[in-house]
Amino acid sequence: MAGGQVLLRVLDSVRKVTGQPIVEKFINPGTLGDTDESEIYGRLPQWGASLSWSFARTVVGFFDLFTMSTDMATCSSAHIGTLIGVNPVSKQSLFQFPIYFYERQTTMANIKFFSGKTTPIEMHRVRIIQKLNLRPIDERWEAIKQAGNNTFLLKNDDVFLDMLTDSGVNAMSNDQLAAMSQADDSYAGSATFYRLEKALQEVFGMQYFLPAHQGRACEHILSKVFVKPGQVVPMNYHFTTSKAHITVLGGEILEIPVKEAFEMTSDCPFKGNLDIDALKKVIAERGKEGIAYVRMESGTNLIGGQPFSLENLQEVSKICRANGIPLVQDVSLLSDNLHFCKQREEKCKNMSIHEIALAFAEASDILYFSGRKLGFARGGGICTNSKQYYMTIRELIPLYEGFLTYGGMSVREMEALAVGMYETLDEDVISQGPQFIEFMTNELVKLDVPVVTPPGGLGCHLNARDFLAHLKPEEYPAGSLASALYLISGVRGMERGTLSEQRNEDGTEPIAHMELVRLALPRRVFTMSQIVYTVDRINWLYQNRHLVGGLKWIDEPKILRFFYGTLEPIGDWQQKLIAKFKEDFGDSL
């Protein structure tokens, strides 16, 4: 086809296909075309055709085309279909001919070893490196003292393996880095913004997008719009900043996850589910006016990165819509949740990752995210299909973030984020993190080290309450464990327990449901040998756990104290731990 118009249609009987060879051979650049398949649309510009898009949801299934390879050596099971060219105006048939569509083989996550081992394989090549430092233990002791036993306050030069967070520290792909070079830094009307907007529209099927500089900026704005004093926000579990934004406005959070959420050792596949009966009870007691919105957090951060099921989300959505209550979903950790739904939920096994993502979005009134997690860049945003919500929220973006076409984000990061959103639909990309976490968790289970199971997303979670069972909750066992682990290994983890809470209004200490040390595994950053090293040092620490004591405050901020508060050890337990380390390891780092 040269010039004119062409309509690309994928027949219902064809699944997981690549149309690139056909497009490249038969459709010349400059042809105006339409397609009823969203992921073909996303790839056609790269194949040379300039398209306008007509999207029909009546197509049976979406096809995970983004992950398809045009190399026939990586494909199997050819399917015969038909490419039909139709003039969209006259409906006149332009051409029709048989073609072969190729189904891609199963994801690389299913590689098996002859030995029977289940070691995950890095699905990337390392092309750029950053040198690491492993300081001697005496230097690490000085560093943790200077940081007030708060791993957030450690200098990165003093850290060997940084497992504090995955926020903004995931490794970008070569496609993301390349995309950054085309950034349009216009203050208003930037082409970069429209590329990101288009990517989000395609991935989520939501019409409106408002940019923000990161996830907590979205929380701030949503709280400003929806939360009134005395209202409650029911949720599967809170995140530190989401709670702070709600409570500072006089609202209250109400955590109503399923009972399995707080079971450290469990085989429940979806510990992030919201308790449906509890939600109904809250609505009956508080009424629509007493509830600001219902919040669902994918990959619930503070309870071990545990996912919720698509079925649970849809049940929550049905209840919310029946009662006129907005359902807001934090999708910062969506990629992990998509992976777990695909692997663990029966209704999702035959769905593509894109189908699951669309279903997540369809069930929600508002999505918000941190691009530092979702998309492997730095930024954030709010998506919705509601024009009313869009118009209301829109007014606060220029006030707090920046103009509507950048929202406080770097345009280079926006370009990377657009590519990262498409990469989120690639099973090989989103499966590697959970596989590494599962491997690390299972290795620690073999050593009887207490960890959260089943393995979740984001990172491996140590159960500090059982790890340091001799400590009182008020002695901050998770904070002590994080400090001790850095001291004996150079590995920086994050306290996710009572230290991460904020005091009650009467000054009492709210004891967290869980005392965890999160060892985040930023995607495509660590090698398997580094995971093995970390497991080894944790095992040694567990064997010597009786030496670890508690912490007490030196400087305790009132808000988000875990970020910048400082503490000191109770007694001389750190000196004793260092002495034992030197006895066992000699001059080893």
- Kindly report, residue by residue over 188-201, the tens digit of the pLDDT: 999 999 999 999 99
Q: What is the chain's mean pLDDT, rounded?
A: 85
Max distance between CA atoms of the chain, in angstroms, equals: 85
* pLDDT tens-digit map of 376-428: 999 999 999 999 999 999 999 999 999 999 999 999 999 999 999 999 999 98
pLDDT the model gives residue 229:
97
CB-based contact 467:449 (threshold 8 Å): yes
Does position 356 have pLDDT exceeding 90, yes or no? yes
pLDDT of residue 289: 97
Q: What is the pLDDT of residue 117?
A: 81
Q: Which CATH architecture has domain 174-425?
A: 3-Layer(aba) Sandwich (3.40)
Any idea which of 27-31, 377-381, 545-549 has the lowest mean pLDDT?
Answer: 27-31
In angstroms, rounded to a whole number, what is the distance separating the alpha carbons of residues 250 and 252?
7
* Exposure on the CB side of residue 143, measured as CA atoms within 13 A: 26
Residue 351, pLDDT score: 93
Select which of 240, 405, 424, 453 is catalytic.
Answer: 240
Query: What is the rounded average pLDDT of the residues 293-301?
Result: 95
Q: How far apart are CA 242 and CA 462, in angstroms?
A: 23
pTM of the model: 0.81
How would you label 268-291 residue by residue, b for 16+ Cβ within 10 Å and e otherwise?
bbbbbbbbeebbeebbeebeeeeb
- Other CB atoms within a 10 A radius of the CB of residue 174 amount to 12
| Numbered ranges of CATH 3.90.1150.10 in the chain | 137-166+429-585
* CA–CA distance, 398 with 396 (Å, rounded to integer): 6
Short-list 83, 4, 104, 71, CA closest to 37: 83
Q: Tokens in use for 461?
A: 């979670």
330, 336, 365, 426: the active-site residue = 330
What is the percent of the chain with per-residue pLDDT over 90, rounded to a whole number? 74
Helices (H), 308-456: 310-322, 334-344, 353-362, 387-394, 396-400, 411-423, 427-446
pLDDT digits (tens, 9 = 90+) for 473-507: 999 999 999 999 999 999 999 999 999 888 988 98
CB 55 within 8 A of CB 25: no
Residue recorded with tokens 């079925």: 311
Assess whether 239 carries a catalytic annotation. Answer: yes
pLDDT (0 to 100) of residue 18 = 47
Provide the pLDDT for residue 42: 54
pLDDT greater than 70 at residue 57: no
Q: Which of 373, 523, 537, 545 is catalytic?
A: 373
CB 253 within 8 A of CB 246: yes
Please choose, from the candidates 460, 433, 435, the residue with its C-alpha nearest in 3D space to the C-alpha of residue 539: 460
Which one has a higher pLDDT value, 562 or 21? 562
Per-residue confidence at 93, pLDDT binned at 50, 70, 90?
Answer: low
Q: Out of 95, 97, 187, 563, which one is annotated catalytic?
A: 187
Average pLDDT over residues 289-313: 96
Indicate the class that CATH gives domain 137-166+429-585. alpha beta
Rg (C-alpha) for the chain, rounded Å, is 25
**What is the average per-residue pLDDT within 229-246?**
94
Catalytic residue among 496, 523, 524, 561: 496
Q: d(Cα 262, Cα 514) in Å, to the nearest integer?
A: 7
Q: Is 101 noted as a catalytic residue in this protein? A: no
Residue 187 falls in the annotated catalytic set: yes
Delimit the CATH 3.40.640.10 region(s) of the chain. 174-425
- Listed range (2-11, 81-90, 231-240, 513-522) with the worst mean pLDDT: 2-11
Let me know if 496 is a catalytic residue: yes
Q: Give the pLDDT of residue 407.
A: 95
- Cα–Cα distance measured from residue 290 to residue 283, given in angstroms and rounded to the nearest whole number: 8
What is the CB neighbour count within 10 angstroms for residue 145? 15
Q: Is 55 a catalytic residue?
A: no
239, 293, 406, 439: the active-site residue? 239
Sorting pLDDT into bands at 50, 70 and 90, what band is 20?
low
